[in-house]
Structure 1
């Protein structure tokens, strides 16, 4: 049964690899008995879409193990040609945008992605990319050596734990530096906005901001009272009438009281008209 293109097999000295890729065997250390492969091919994306990765000097690498860092890849491939940059990503895609003016944060940097990753290696010359692409080592390349030791086991756990401990002084220093840079950038933007205010752009439009508006006139006491009265009326309109039983009883009592009051007023009017002899019931 024929082996698939992605299997790690050897037939007649040829290592099977996906179409368009070259296979480079690697292993963790000299004592390791098992190894796996890095699949390498030339990066082919238009430079205007990915300007940081030139076509003729960039290699795209698949199947990068979790313990293989940027430094490891740089030292492995720098034997053939000087390397300009190495990028590790979770999946293929454009270069991650980073702020060049600001130094990378020690405490707020992005977390490393666990598991196998992809890499983009940019060489300083075309010869380096071609040499790695056609590389066919007899023995697997070793990742961890005496000069390039990768921590494992207890040593790795201790190192990972120590990196989680934060020094308050260093953290405060970084936060203060960030806030100073932020305040400086805001001040520059405000100064630029003031310079551009009132100046027409290329199409003749003038930018209007709230800074030039007249301050509001404070309201008088009478105006405040009128506003309170309007608010009371608005709340009274929203209030539910005769919704509860006690509201229904109160409305009946008020209606009866108004009828009695009107009856007494009518009696007084009749008495007054009789006294004036102007009452003619028939």
Structure 2
């Protein structure tokens, strides 16, 4: 490629090995002042890249532009918004969990707190092994490289005299990436067992915490805002929520008899379920076909005999 610029983009050739060349297209980032990302991507220090390799990592782009200057951060298109959203969700979940635990501790008497400290200690889920694997993106993606000063951006836009080699990284690439991904999806059985056991312990712990926060206490009647005792239906009798006093049904109060459930209808015998039933059905169908065939044959012979030759 002879031209060093195309439509305002500087062409940066990158060599993969000896005979493979990849082309990056770079220009200075020009954002809008009203855009919310203007603070994260300053115009004077941000390099906009097009046709970024799908398996490129942040470390590789930092090493690629290391000679131009210090890179402050690298943002791939679409990744920044996702990371901010995930961080917000994690913070909100942590706050909710802290509030739940605080309420649970306050609801327990002072004497029980000491005994339950060891029992209610929150278990930690043993994670499955996750080797460092590079993230594969779609082809033709873009990225923003933010430098520490403006002079670094100017040096990064200088065309290369010859293709610059793509920096190597610790994460496997190519076929090695898919082999490592295959091995990571099939961890040893003992590690899977430890992960499952720890996850069940965490589930049981959270279940105990929710039961401690429940307002329904055994032996205590639950009264709503209007002063009525909440009753739930259970079998032939009703029962108070949380209490032990039973409330009889209307039929029991009038007649003293409990409700009886209707008897289940007898199961009908299934047809063509056994082998001899299928064989017998096939034999009967065959006899019926033969009988119909003989009857049709007699009708045909009778029609033939009734015909007369009439040449005129």
Highest CA radius of gyration, 1 or 2? 1
> TM bucket by the smaller chain?
0.3 to 0.5
Q: Relative CO higher for 1 or 2, CA cutoff 8 Å, sep ≥ 6? A: 2
TM-score of the aligned structures, taking structure 1 as reference length: 0.48
